[in-house]
Homo-oligomer: A and B are copies of this chain.
Amino acid sequence: MKRIASRDNPLYKELRRLAQGAHARRQGLALLEGVHLCQAYLQWGGTPRHAVFDAVRSESGELRALRDAVPPACQAWLEPGLVDGLETVRSGQGVVFVIDTPAPPLPARADENCVLLDRIQDPGNVGSILRSCAAAGVRRVFLSADTAYAWSTKVLRSGQGAHFSLTIHEDVDLLALSARLDVPLLATTLDDAVDLLRADLPPRAAWVFGNEGQGVDPALQRAAALRLRIDQEPAAESLNVAAAAAVCLFEQRRQARRAGQ
């Protein structure tokens, strides 16, 4: 256990650089802020590189439980005020984990229910979709190069721990991946599409959800076995992409459940 009392401490300086985001990503590291994300990481079986606690608050219930679950060698206790420099949320909870970002190898073939994110830019949308995936039973997610970085602080916060029940692949060439799928590719789109509720959805599929403004890339749409649209009021705007993804994944779950009964 290290105790850090100064902003000039080398480890503290490194932690501050990691908190900037880009540096952490280059180093293959991610920062988990707050009790809930840190708990989810430990439940998943992870051991943090550094578990950084606000020394003042580290005796309180939830922080103490986290502290007791982490090897002393990776603990750093910060003197009052220092932890604020690491947390991006205003109401920080006095704990930050530095973890190795999982970088799972791409599977040669994909034969399970999975989700592809095509240039989804809003971190809140990416986090919300990861949550919906975990809740709907999807286990694997592929992110294209221009999708918001899954292990950024904002996506982690919005994902609420869903990251740790998923296998997340970043920087994936989705079109190349589409040739390696052993499940049908389903694209959501507004034009030339089948009503989601009239489609017999396969219990295992690769769902692709597209950019907030432009939708799914036309080449991916052409590669899709089925193009689907969500029935809605004629004059209305399309749904937000994370809302649309939730409707699709839970309609698939509904149909699978009905078929299983």
Contacts and interface: CB of A to CB of B under 8 A. Distances in A.
Interface of A: 122, 124-125, 127-128, 131-132, 134-137, 158, 160-162, 165, 197, 230-233, 235-240, 242-247, 250-251, 253-254, 257
A165 B230 contact: no
Contacts of A124: 122, 124-125
A236 B166 CA distance: 11
A136 B253 CA distance: 20
A246 B251 CA distance: 11
A197 B254 contact: yes
Say what secondary structure dominates the interface of chain A. helix
A158 B237 CA distance: 11
Given A131-B237, A197-B257, 18 more contacts: A122-B124, A127-B240, A131-B236, A131-B240, A131-B243, A132-B243, A134-B233, A134-B236, A136-B232, A162-B236, A165-B233, A231-B253, A231-B257, A239-B246, A240-B246, A242-B242, A243-B243, A243-B246
Contacts of A237: 131, 134-135, 160-162
